[in-house]
Structure 1
Amino acid sequence: GLTVAQAKASIAFDAKVKTVQPNYIYYPTVFAEPADDPYYGLLWGLHNNAQVINNTAGVADVDIDAPEAWAYLDGKVVEEVVVAVIDTGVDTRHPDLQGKMWINSGEIAGNGKDDDGNGYVDDVHGWNFANDSATLFMGVEEDSHATHVSGTIAARDDQGGVIGIAPNVKIMSLKFLGADGGTTADAIEATYYSKNMGADLSNNSWGGGAYDAALKAAIDSFAKPFIVAAGNSKKNIDRVASYPASYDCANIITVAAVDNRGALASFSNYGLKGVDLGAPSANIASTYPDDQYMYMSGTSMAAPHVTGVTALLMGFKPDLTSAQVKDIVMQSAQANPLLSLAGKTVTGGLVNVMKALELAGGAVVTPPPSSDTTAPYVVSSVPAEGAKNFKKANNLVVSFNETISIKNVSAILLTPTGSTTSVTLSVTTDGRQLVIDPTAATLSPYTRYTLTIGAGAVADAAGNPNAAWSMTFTTSR
């Protein structure tokens, strides 16, 4: 009968507990509609010649230039890349996914033993974290989403059905989403599994829940490209965060949705700071369970386009660092601008695999110049404005919309009402949070204080300084 907050507070009193955080529920970011014909001509995201898709005419060349990239790679060495699809389960029996599944070479299928000693029995193609089993496919109702995602990334070029962007990919199926969504704990476990079992990058077409330090730590630990759907709530995630898209992890690439006419999809989240680039996502035809094909729409479909581009790039230039890979993918979009993405994403463009390969085959890669001119701003504080009975021994925490660094600590002041002398402070940053610790043991009781963060006290990664901000609160006994 406890609320989440009450349960969290109750557990936190246990001296053996280091931290407490809710086990949030996550969901796929997708809409579905049956496809008429499972042919290459439906794949406008790979090659858009203004064909009509699901009764909507496209605009030529609003695509990722996949055929041009395949021609460019003809005769070149492209190494195999393992993509962890952290999602629902994959229908490994689908004809277009035959030979495309990752195989755990340390495991013997079906013998009921943990041959490689990694803690998972018979994890030949991945693991079902939602049900704690090696059974990846539980049925069409539950596991269509990752099957569709996997086809966009890596479906076979076999003169039938559809074709994936990256023929060099093997799919590691890591199911943490079930019919009722998936938990933070399972997402974390899946992320660590992908790291420990050697995945080269990760596709994450899911979202929900709030900030979770343990999940962020898992993503940071993975360290390789972690492609994330921006979400389908039509919101600016610079102002209203959406996770995992909004984590400030260096390896995350967050993807918005674009339709076949080059418009930001009506459902897509966006953000000049929090969303990196766009990718095809509306009416995407791909593999579907039981040997079928389906149109699906959502940022869930945008992310695997970027994952496919990234995987092809990594196979072509395996010596690139993760940071270089991200820079190239970002520059490919910046070189392929769309009016609908201007001011809505970091790059303002649509991912482009041909441009990415050309960039990788050329000179030393440098990060794209920042188009970020938006100042960081406060989204919340503890205590809140006007709070009463704030415990005088507690630290103050001010949360910003993005990662910040301290530029002028003397501009951060905590002043009692009626005094001209401010309290001596120790100020640190923790990602997006400014932690303010009065160096005295406690603040004075029953006292009204004003916290001021002066203009230019902090700045974001692009060097944009904050505007002045202040709030007042009153301490308790």
Structure 2
Amino acid sequence: MIKRLFIIVTLFATIYGCSSSQMATKNDSSQDKTTPQEKVDQPVDFSTMLKPPEGWHHWDEEQTQFRGISSELAYTKILSDNSPEEKVVVAVIDGGVDTNHEDLDDVMWINEDEIPDNGKDDDGNGYVDDVHGWNFIGGSDGKNVNHDTFELTRIYRSLHQEFKNADTTSFSKKKQEQYSYYKQIKSDYEEEVNRLHQQYNNIESLNQSMQEAKNILDEHYADSSYSYEDIQELDPTSQELNFAKNVMSYILENEIDSTLIADQKKQIYEFAKYGYNPDFNPRDIVGDNYEDKSERIYGNNDVAGPDPSHGTHVAGIIAAERDNGIGVNGVATNTYIMAIRAVPNGDERDKDVANAIRYAVDNGADIINMSFGKSYSPHKEVVDKAVAHANKNNVLMVHGAGNSAQNTDTTANYPTDKYGSAVSDSAATLWMSVGATSWKPNEEFIANFSNYGDETVDLFAPGVDIYSTMPDNKYEFQSGTSMASPVVAGTAALIMAYYPELTAKQVRQIILENSIQYPNQLVTVPSEGNPEESEQTIFPELSVSDGLVNVYKALRAAEEMSQ
């Protein structure tokens, strides 16, 4: 979410010079409330829609014009007379899951061999009271890591201690290479810190512009009750009013309000205090020997942690209880969430990611969802071995491609299916990298924050304005490839539940080969640069499969393959 707003604010700064902008309350009364079962005959005006209906990602395009995954159609047309044959377990490696949520409490994985809260490792797997999963960023005393540094900061801190006062004249060739790497890391670190400062300034300017535009429009309309449509119909009679119209249109179209601005300013503050602070190190909370990357038994059983919002949202997309009369429907039925906490507010550590993957595999997960990522992986070999372990044990891994608006064919995003020298094979075969699409069937079809890659991103899934579960029995729209990944994980789980004879390799093949194709769809390539210089290409150029995941087509293919 933070990355997405930074992109929006950067574009605003480029277009309007960060000079002014307003924020008004969105009028949602015009939202389309069409249900998935109703066929829409009248064209939907996506250009004036500020937010899609709840659950749009489940819908079928032919019925509703929204480019969803046709899951509601699949349940109605394919699965209505069938029953699932297998319980499927999806491990959600994330920042925590609210296991008591009203829409998740009955779909949480339960370790049947563990007696809850008796302080013993009943099943002998090394983890005490791991009833719903495990927390690799907590201590045995019950304390938890919340914030952590970014991986770039950790690398910079380590190298800076070694090279800050070094005499380079006596360096060997190897040492000189290490010093050159340090200089590059130092440059990258300083660039990111400067960028953070600029982002704060941009947001401050955006906030100021919002207030200026609000004052102008309040005076023009004599009150504050004006809608997006009113603003679009406004014929400015002055430069001041034209400025207010442009700014307000931009604000409403990008769903920016004062609460979001405050949240992002708070996040920037936390990035400066924790993420980019070389002197901050919370690892003592965990109590492990961090230098021992082979160590596996540490942490605690608190799978919610201090901030389970992200993981709860992800879990709901996959398997929120269907048709229970409350909340939302997950993509998959007969599917259970194994919660594994390894992702702090900051960058996850390679050791924790590797152990989280191994825990999932060794405790019966069929699928692993990984809605996280980073640009540096100093101990990639540890993660590679864990990924290879999952691959060997027929566990499907689904990973969000990332929210940096970058081409991952040329810019690294970890973890990845590509192995280093630590594994003899070249790449994992049971891996899917997922980019995010929006609900707009035009040049904005690709989410403006999504990573992409014709060789490294396998397919796309809905990832903009996805409505799902939040802690404390709440629900919320969120955006990111973090939301697109669980859509695909849920699709895989649904196939496995109804067609358990299929292997993970076959399920992956089915999903990729039965995506919806838009061969002539022109899209704007995600970029943080000047929107006036944005490139456009056709949708198939941005992923391996050239398509958008589709549950209906995938289930039809699974039915044929299983016969």
TM-score range, shorter chain: 0.5 to 0.7
| Code of the aligned partner of 2:333 | P
Q: 1:81 & 1:357 partners in 2: Cα distance?
A: 16
2:388 aligned partner: 220
Q: Structure 1 residue 347: deviation in Å?
A: 1.3
Aligned to 1:318: 500
Equivalent-residue separation in structure 1 for 2:123 and 2:26 (angstroms):
41
Partner Cα separation in structure 2 for residue 46 and residue 285 of structure 1: 18
The 3 A distance-change label for structure 1 pair 155 and 261 is same
Q: Secondary structure at the match of 1:267?
A: coil
1:180: which partner in 2? 346
Contiguous gaps of at least 5 residues in structure 2: 7-24, 139-298, 419-426, 524-538
Say if 2:104 is the partner of 1:123: no
Q: Which has the higher contact order (CA 8 A, sep 6+)?
A: 2
Q: 1:257 maps to what in 2?
A: 436
1:135 paired residue among 283, 302, 314: 302
Indicate the residue corresponding to 2:355 in structure 1.
Answer: 189
What's the CA shift for 1:246? 5.5
Residue 106 to residue 97, structure 1, CA distance change in 2 (3 Å): same
| 2:258 paired residue number | none
Tell me which residue corresponds to 1:202.
Answer: 368
Aligned-residue offset at 1:136 = 1.3
CA offset at residue 216 of structure 1? Answer: 1.6
TM (norm. structure 2) is: 0.55
Q: Which of 97, 103, 112 is the matching residue for 1:90?
A: 97
1:309–1:118 distance in 2 versus 1, CA, 3 Å: same
Query: Within the alignment, does 1:241 sit opposite 2:408 as a pair?
Result: no
- Structure 2 CA distance for aligned equivalents of residues 266 and 153 of structure 1: 23
Q: Name the structure 2 match of 1:150.
A: 315
Shift of 1:98: 1.8
Structure 2 counterpart of 1:349, from 547, 551, 558: 547
Percent of aligned positions that are identical: 38
2:482 counterpart (300, 310, 313)? 300
- Aligned residue for 1:342, secondary structure, equals helix
Alpha-carbon contact 1:309-1:353 (below 8 Å) kept: yes
Instruction: Give me the TM-score of the superposition, normalised by structure 1.
Output: 0.65
Deviation, structure 1 residue 178? 2.1
Give, in angstroms, the shift of residue 338 of structure 1: 7.4
Q: Which residue of 1 aligns with 2:512?
A: 330
Per the alignment, do residues 126 and 346 of structure 1 end up closer, same or farther by CA in structure 2, a change over 3 Å counting? Answer: same
Residue 269 of structure 1 pairs with residue 436 of structure 2: no
Q: Structure 2 matches for 1:62-101, cutoff 5 A?
A: 62-71=67-76, 72-78=78-84, 79-101=86-108
Q: Which residue of 2 aligns with 1:160?
A: 326
Q: Distance in 1 between matches of 2:348 and 2:70?
A: 34
CA drift at 1:217: 1.8
- RMSD across aligned positions (CA): 3.1
Q: 1:146: how far off?
A: 0.5
Q: Is the 8 A contact 2:3 2:404 kept in 1?
A: no
Contact map agreement 2:417 2:431 (CA 8 A) in 1:
no
- Tell me, yes or no, if the aligned pair for 1:28 and 1:207 is still in contact at 8 Å: no
Judge conservation of contact 2:405–2:448 (CA < 8 Å) in 1: yes
Relative to structure 1, the CA distance from residue 203 to residue 91 in structure 2 (aligned partners, 3 Å threshold; closer, same or farther) is: same
CA distance in 2, matches of 1:43, 1:29: 31
CA distance in 2, matches of 1:240, 1:47: 43
- 1:286 aligns to what? 468
What is the distance in 2 between the residues matched to 1:101 and 1:216? 28
Q: Using the alignment, how far apart are the partners of 2:462 and 2:34 within structure 1?
A: 10
- Give ranges in structure 1 of 5+ residues lacking alignment: 1-26, 366-477
Secondary structure at the aligned position of 1:114 is classed as coil
Determine helix, strand or coil for the equivalent of 2:489.
helix
**Would the aligned equivalents of 1:204 and 1:226 in 2 still touch at CA under 8 Å?**
yes
Q: Alpha-carbon deviation of 1:313?
A: 0.7
The equivalences for 1:385-464 within 5 A come to none
**CA–CA distance in structure 1, aligned partners of residues 556 and 89 of structure 2:** 22
Give the 3-state SS of the residue equivalent to 1:290 in structure 2: coil
Distance 1:62 1:133, change over 3 A: same
Mapped to 2, the partners of 1:364 and 1:237 lie a distance apart of 34
CA distance in 1, matches of 2:36, 2:485: 12
Residues 182, 190 of structure 1: CA spacing in aligned structure 2 closer, same or farther, 3 A cutoff? same
Q: Give the 3 Å change call, closer, same or farther, for CA 249–154 of structure 1 in structure 2.
A: same
Q: Per residue, is there more strand in 1 or in 2?
A: 1
Counterpart contact for 2:398–2:433, Cα < 8 Å: yes
1:55 match: 50
CA distance in 1, matches of 2:385, 2:27: 43
Secondary structure of the 1:260 match is coil
Q: For 1:182, what is the secondary structure of its paired residue?
A: coil
SS in 2 for 1:319: coil
For these two proteins, the number of residue pairs brought into alignment is 334
The aligned runs of 1:30-45 (5 Å cut-off) are none
Q: CA-to-partner distance for each residue in 1:265-291, whole Å, 9 max, x for gaps? A: 000000001001100000111000111
Query: For residues 36 and 56 of structure 1, do their structure 2 counterparts lie closer, same or farther at Cα, with a shift above 3 Å needed?
Result: closer
Change (3 A) 1:209 1:239: closer
What amino acid sits opposite 1:94 in the alignment? Answer: H
SS state of the match for residue 399, structure 2? Answer: strand
Q: Which has the higher helix share?
A: 2
Matches of 1:209 and 1:35, distance apart in 2: 36
Task: Please tell me the residue identity of whatever aligns with 2:553.
Answer: K
CA distance in 2, matches of 1:161, 1:146: 17
The 1:285–1:30 alpha-carbon spacing in structure 2 relative to 1, beyond 3 Å, is farther
User: Residues 207 and 245 of structure 1 are in contact (CA less than 8 Å); yes or no, is this contact kept in structure 2?
Assistant: no
Distance 2:343 2:90 in 1: 17
| Aligned twin of 2:291 | none
Aligned to 1:443: none
**C-alpha spacing 1:121/1:45, structure 2 compared with 1 (3 Å):** farther
- What are the superposed Cα offsets for residues 90-142 of structure 1, whole Å, 9 maximum, x if unpaired? 00111011211000011000111000010100000000111011111223xx2
Contact 1:338 1:348 in 2 (8 A): no
2:544 corresponds to 1:362? no
